[in-house]
Chain A
Amino acid sequence: MLALAGRRLAASIPSLLIILVGMFLLLQLAPGDTVDALMAQMGGGGDAALMAELRAFYGLDLSVPARLLNYLWRLVQLDLGFSSIYGKPVATVILERLPATLLLMTASLSFAFFFGLLFGVIAARRVNRWPDTVISTLGLVFYATPSFWFGLMAIVLFSVHLQWLPAGGMESIGEGLTGIRRALDIALHFVLPTLTLGLIFLAIYLRIMRASMLEVLTLDFVRTARAKGLDETRVITRHVLRNAMLPMVTLIGLQAGTMLGGSVVVESVFSLPGLGRLAYEAVVQRDLNTLLGIVFISALLVILVNFCVDLLYAKLDPRIAKETGG
């Protein structure tokens, strides 16, 4: 298994390199650098000497190829560089932001996966009857709703009018909560963001699960199971579900990457300190090191998740384990 992990990682290095270099060059095409962004924040009044000094301070006085080579050389030494907006190492900045993103991502993926599975099964078993129609329609509505609007409406309803849940932020500020009370407080703050992000993904899981169930239900081994005299519940749980889940697991692997980047909107609406907002800010402020650092970490995460997905495949379908194991 370790060998497999190693092979996977080695295979992803060239793509990682292409992504990083491409990103670096792409950002060179955007007009303005981080000193221009700083000037915009200052509201002007920077004289030429000051600006030249700042460019030297941020290492912008070198040529583009020299900066790229410097960056790659530092990366080889596992140094992600210094963030110009935060004034501290990029690794530290990203580590600070990782918990919120991971929490949001895990919570909403689990939500989408679990309820997608549940409603997918219900819809498939009652196909073309009213439960199927209701579930499929609602799924489409959630899928078609822009997440910022959905999030804002959730805030207006649950925080402004009903006052059940906090309107934003990751936890109550300055109340010094610890232990289980802090965990509960954080959980309360994550309810709305998780629902907002999860409901959009739910629709996809639901559709996939429904289609996959319908397909498996027509296969021969299901007919055999039914012929054996198994009751419907047992046919579904023991025989159909396991086989119908394979596409769901594939999807989770694919979406782990999307969710890292796709949470910019949800993080902004709910004022969560996650990687999406950090990436957005890094682009606006032309903080190249931070942006490349995020790309790097995200790519690593995606590789890791896909690796886990592969292992899970093997668990669900022993045939796959034999092929890769051999």
Chain B
Amino acid sequence: MDVTRRAALMTSAAIAASVNAPELALAQETPRRGGVMTVHFATEQRILNPSLQASTGVYIVGGKIQEPLVDLDANGQPTACLAESWESSADGQTITFRLRQGVTWHDGRPFTSADVQFTAMEMWKKILNYGTAVQLFLEAVETPDAHTAVFKYSRPMPLGLLLRALPDLGYVSPRHIYEGTDIRQNPANTAPIGTGPFKFLQYERGQFIIAERNPNYWRNNLPYLDRVVWRVVSDRSAAAAQMEAGQILYSPFSSLALSDLARLGRDPRFEVTTRGNEGNPRTNTLEFNFRNPLLADIRVRRALAHAINIPFFIENFLNSDYAKPGTGPIPTVSTDFYPTGAMPQYPYDRAVANRLLDEAGHRRGAGGVRFNLRLTPAPWGEDIALFSTFIQQSLQEVGIRVEIVRLDAAGFLRTVYNDWNFDLATGWHQYRNDPAVSTTVWYRTGSPRGAPWTNQFGFSDTSIDGIIDAAATELDPAKRKALYADFVRRGNGEQLMWNPIEQLFLSCYSKRLRNHANMPRWGSSSWHDLWIAP
């Protein structure tokens, strides 16, 4: 059904293009060489090497300089990058990658299977966040020749899972730079050396990063651009002004204020869209602390959801262009895993909420108040601040008084995921292509205390644990999908946490950009085919 809708959209786009003459002319333009791409860099990172840190803040820079084994194509399917082809053994414990030949590092040394082996064993398996979980059962990487890397797993590794994880978690670093050094303190962490279309040139902290065209790039005659410049602008309004002044051509990942994005979206010089961000969906969460006996009662957890009018919130505070009501931990953009069939939902119905709370024995007391709860919102994202206030006011209507406890990033993670000192928390769950990467950890029992964005909520559901473990090693894609449907059904049914809103990041592009937003993780991608019209 989804496919037909996409096909229909493409047809209508084609019709629009043929009717609209300027659009057609755009499509036929010949790429222009040269030019400088300027990018809004909102939050400086400690390191820029994507083999060591998996986050959009690192990919936005490091993803142009270093490359992964596998990337995504325009339709979000795995496509060759540093690996040209791959195959899995029947038992799923041996996965072989054939590597691209004739690729060199920016310092001139050849790229070989030894680099892949070193990066996989020393970085992905030991240091890279999420990598350590995905590669937990990686035993060894064998290198029968310079262009073959054989990954050996002690348990079956679904090829689909690995291929969906590698565009983010498969960046390769040069062995000759890192071997025998303290990896965490290697100077190449902030002056990365890669195989990508752009070579690192200069990083002035607090000001800018510059990378220049790699003349020896393996994709012949690419990239088109001379340079990429990242401008460090921490103030969101100032960044919007710099876009208008032409100093910045691209602001990624909703880094501008929602009001500025709405304003720039109406400006003919800019395009504000979710396009190019389909690979980074997130759901807003409502997390319950089960150690509070009030919240351990499923009737109360369900009542909270019934009391909050999500469509109203999206319509009035966000925008349906990038947000829609969520249906569970797996977002709709994940076509490989989004469960078919209806999953348990808790639509807005204040009468039901009141009845459930009454049934749970929480009668209204003085002033109509049933009980008090503390709500701890995550400090990132304007939508979270808005949503926390909306939750507070919605719950007031059903007799629950909510106190909002605002903390900064470090304080939020410590208080919620380490000290467990909260009743309700709200933030984002970021979905990373496959539920096994960053989704099931929210539900699985046994996460060590203090690991952020994992089950620190005090519930333990062994049947869910069983489904999660089975799906992580299931080789048959159809069976995996069915297992994850079970996972969503059970998680929603027990209302272990609530994923009421599904969102995509907004990007603001200058209309001069060409070949931009042409794949689902474009902000993180290498920009080898990006060019700028005069």
Bound Cα distance from A5 to B237, whole angstroms: 45
B412 to chain A, nearest CB (A): 7
Residue of A nearest to B185 (CB): A87
Q: Is A133 an interface residue (CB 8 A)?
A: no
Residue of A nearest to B230 (CB): A173
Given contacts A270-B238, A273-B205, A273-B206, contact A31 B414 (CB under 8 A): yes
List of B residues within 8 angstroms of A169 by Cβ? 207-208, 231, 247
| B241–A152 CB distance below 8 A | yes
Q: Is B190 an interface residue (CB 8 A)?
A: yes
| B242–A40 CB distance below 8 A | no
Q: Is A297 an interface residue (CB 8 A)?
A: no
List of B residues within 8 angstroms of A93 by Cβ? 205
| A285–B410 CB distance below 8 A | yes
List of A residues within 8 angstroms of B473 by Cβ? none
| B234–A174 CB distance below 8 A | no
Given contacts A87-B189, A273-B207, contact A43 B430 (CB under 8 A): yes
List of B residues within 8 angstroms of A269 by Cβ? 235, 237-238
Bound Cα distance from A274 to B234, whole angstroms: 13
| A31–B448 CB distance below 8 A | no
List of B residues within 8 angstroms of A37 by Cβ? 409-410
B499 to chain A, nearest CB (A): 16
Q: Is A214 an interface residue (CB 8 A)?
A: no
List of B residues within 8 angstroms of A32 by Cβ? 407-415
List of B residues within 8 angstroms of A152 by Cβ? 237-238, 241
B residues 223-281 near A (Cβ < 8 Å) are: 227, 229, 231-235, 237-238, 241-242, 244-245, 247
The segment from B38-46, B78-86, B286-294 that touches chain A is B38-46
A274 to chain B, nearest CB (A): 8
Q: Is A208 an interface residue (CB 8 A)?
A: no
List of B residues within 8 angstroms of A151 by Cβ? 238
Question: Residue-by-residue, is B22-50 near A (CB-CB < 8 Å gives 1, otherwise 0)?
Answer: 00000000000000100000011111000
List of A residues within 8 angstroms of B130 by Cβ? 44-45
Q: Is B127 an interface residue (CB 8 A)?
A: yes
List of B residues within 8 angstroms of A34 by Cβ? 410
A67 to chain B, nearest CB (A): 17
List of A residues within 8 angstroms of B172 by Cβ? none
Bound Cα distance from A166 to B419, whole angstroms: 46
Given contacts A46-B129, A278-B206, contact A36 B410 (CB under 8 A): yes
| A44–B411 CB distance below 8 A | no
List of A residues within 8 angstroms of B54 by Cβ? 42-43, 45
Given contacts A40-B452, A45-B132, A174-B227, contact A271 B234 (CB under 8 A): yes
Q: Is A19 an interface residue (CB 8 A)?
A: no
Q: Is B57 an interface residue (CB 8 A)?
A: yes
Question: Residue-by-residue, is B304-325 near A (CB-CB < 8 Å gives 1, otherwise 0)?
Answer: 0000000000000000000000
List of A residues within 8 angstroms of B419 by Cβ? 31
Q: Is B524 an interface residue (CB 8 A)?
A: no
Q: Is B53 an interface residue (CB 8 A)?
A: yes
List of A residues within 8 angstroms of B453 by Cβ? 43-45
Given contacts A87-B189, A168-B238, A174-B210, contact A36 B245 (CB under 8 A): no
List of B residues within 8 angstroms of A278 by Cβ? 206
List of B residues within 8 angstroms of A285 by Cβ? 410
Residue of A nearest to B437 (CB): A45
B274 to chain A, nearest CB (A): 19
Bound Cα distance from A155 to B248, whole angstroms: 14
List of B residues within 8 angstroms of A155 by Cβ? 238, 241, 245
List of A residues within 8 angstroms of B202 by Cβ? 174
List of B residues within 8 angstroms of A272 by Cβ? 206
Q: Is B17 an interface residue (CB 8 A)?
A: no
Question: Residue-by-residue, is A150-185 near B (CB-CB < 8 Å gives 1, otherwise 0)?
Answer: 011001100110010011111001100000000000
List of B residues within 8 angstroms of A41 by Cβ? 43, 45-46, 53, 55, 57, 409
Q: Is A3 an interface residue (CB 8 A)?
A: no
| B129–A42 CB distance below 8 A | yes
| B129–A45 CB distance below 8 A | yes
Bound Cα distance from A89 to B53, whole angstroms: 22
List of A residues within 8 angstroms of B56 by Cβ? 43
List of A residues within 8 angstroms of B2 by Cβ? none
Residue of A nearest to B202 (CB): A174
Residue of B nearest to A47 (CB): B132
Question: Residue-by-residue, is A1-44 near B (CB-CB < 8 Å gives 1, otherwise 0)?
Answer: 00000000000000000000000000000111110111111111
Residue of B nearest to A268 (CB): B235
| A86–B411 CB distance below 8 A | no
| A271–B233 CB distance below 8 A | yes
| A87–B46 CB distance below 8 A | yes
| A51–B451 CB distance below 8 A | yes
Given contacts A167-B242, A168-B242, contact A39 B413 (CB under 8 A): yes
| A39–B452 CB distance below 8 A | yes
B residues 439-472 near A (Cβ < 8 Å) are: 448-454
| A271–B410 CB distance below 8 A | no
| A167–B189 CB distance below 8 A | no
**Which of A32, A50, A169 is packed against the most chain B CB atoms within 10 Å?**
A32
**Which of B47, B127, B450 is packed against the most chain A CB atoms within 10 Å?**
B450
Bound Cα distance from A94 to B443, whole angstroms: 44
Residue of B nearest to A85 (CB): B46
| B207–A31 CB distance below 8 A | no
| A48–B451 CB distance below 8 A | yes
List of B residues within 8 angstroms of A36 by Cβ? 409-411, 413-414, 418, 452
List of A residues within 8 angstroms of B235 by Cβ? 148, 268-269, 271
Bound Cα distance from A39 to B437, whole angstroms: 16
Q: Is B438 an interface residue (CB 8 A)?
A: yes
Q: A32-B412, A159-B245 given. 10 additional CB < 8 A pairs?
A: A32-B414, A36-B410, A36-B411, A41-B53, A43-B453, A46-B452, A48-B451, A85-B46, A168-B241, A271-B234
Q: Which residues of chain B have a CB within 8 Å of any CB of chain A?
A: 36, 43-47, 53-57, 127, 129-133, 184-185, 189-190, 202, 204-208, 210, 227, 229, 231-235, 237-238, 241-242, 244-245, 247, 380, 407-415, 418-419, 430, 437-438, 448-454
A-B residue pairs in contact (CB < 8 Å), sample of 27: A31-B415, A31-B419, A32-B408, A40-B409, A40-B410, A40-B412, A41-B53, A41-B55, A43-B430, A45-B54, A45-B130, A45-B133, A45-B437, A46-B132, A47-B132, A47-B448, A96-B205, A148-B237, A151-B238, A160-B245, A166-B245, A168-B238, A173-B207, A173-B231, A268-B235, A271-B231, A271-B234
Across the A-B interface, give the 7 residue pairs with the lowest CB-CB distance, nearest first. Answer: A32-B410, A273-B206, A45-B130, A45-B129, A48-B448, A32-B414, A44-B453
